[in-house]
Amino acid sequence: MPRVVVDVMLKPEILDPQGKAVHGALFRLGFEGVVDVRQGKRFELEVEGELTPDRLADVRRIAETLLSNPVIEDFAVRVEAEA
C-alpha cells in the first residue's frame, strides 16, 4: 500500500516557541552544537490501491486545506516506498 508523507512546518518568518523551548533545553543540557530547532508535524497517509496522479492531487488538496494552515505553515508532500 503506497504511503504518502506530508511534512508541515511553520514558515521561516513565523516565530516557533516550541522549537525555541527545545533549543533552550538542549543548550542548558550542554548540547552546544545545535544553533536552531524548528518543530513541525509529520503525517503518514496510507493510500488505497495504486497511487494515481488523481490520488496524489487529492493528497495535496488534503495537505493544503486540512493538515496545514497556509497562512503560517508550509507543507511538503512526498511518496515513500510501498509498505
**Which residues lie across from 9 on neighbouring strands?**
74
Question: What is the C-alpha to C-alpha distance for residues 38 and 16, in angstroms, rounded to an integer?
Answer: 6
C-alpha cell at position 35:
544553533
State which of residues 15, 17, 36, 81 lies at the interface with a copy of itself (CB under 8 A). Answer: 36
CA atoms within a 13 Å half-sphere pointing along the CA-CB vector of 36? 4
Question: Going residue by residue from 38 to 57, which x/- string records binding to a copy of itself, judged by CB under 8 A?
Answer: xxxxxxxxxxxx-----x--
Q: How far is the CB of 39 from a copy of itself (least distance, A)?
A: 5
Residues that bind a copy of itself (CB under 8 A): 1, 7-9, 19, 22, 25-26, 29, 31-49, 55, 58-59, 62, 66-67
